[in-house]
Amino acid sequence: MIKETEKSKEKFEISYEDYFKTRFYGIVELMRVLSPILDNKKALDIVKKLWEKKGIDIIVRQLKNTSSIRNFNDFKEIYKEQISTEYMQHCLKFTMEEDTQNKLAFKFTKCLWAETFLEMEASDIGDAMCCYPDFAMAKAFHPKLKLIRTKTLMKGDDFCDSTYIWEE
């Protein structure tokens, strides 16, 4: 058994861009190897299911640490807090387009996930890992919550439009 040393707990500096490239490079390479064997669609479907499950698990864990979401205002409070963290501020650039009783809409003009996967010419993989799970994650927050998205940076659009609707 290898004993953990104090050295392993030391922090090192790396840019967010370099971190993303390092984090996702191996996954993209693995997908490129698997795609001809499984066929690309089947491989992407597997990735979608895996990352959808991971996303739902994140929401379930997060909600265990907070009071449950009883209404749309509860969701909006949690979501706004999430995208305002220091980490997200380094990864995203966005404006809130609408905040009403049943609708919360954002326009994302910068997304480090999209930039990373587009640079690796792997937007299909990025979409499967980073964009697709958002819809299931919305439902994991609350069954009345629905995400609508018609454009994504990941697919080459000028922005992502993410609109959350509370369906009564």
Angstrom distance (rounded) from CA 157 to CA 122: 15
Split at pLDDT 50, 70, 90, the class of 4 is low
Q: What are phi and psi of 134, to 5 degrees?
A: -60, -35
Closest CA to 44 of 153, 117, 140, 143: 117
Provide the angle, in degrees to the nearest 10, between the axes of the packed helices 16-38 and 40-64: 130
pLDDT at 94: 97
Enumerate residues 6+ apart whose C-beta is below 8 A from 13: none
For the segment 86-131, what is each residue's pLDDT rounded down to a tens digit? 999 999 999 999 999 999 999 999 999 999 999 999 999 999 999 9
Q: What is the pLDDT of residues 6-58, one digit of tens each?
A: 777 788 889 999 999 999 999 999 999 988 898 889 999 999 999 999 999 99
Structure tokens at 9: 């707990």
CATH of domain 16-166: 3.30.1380.20
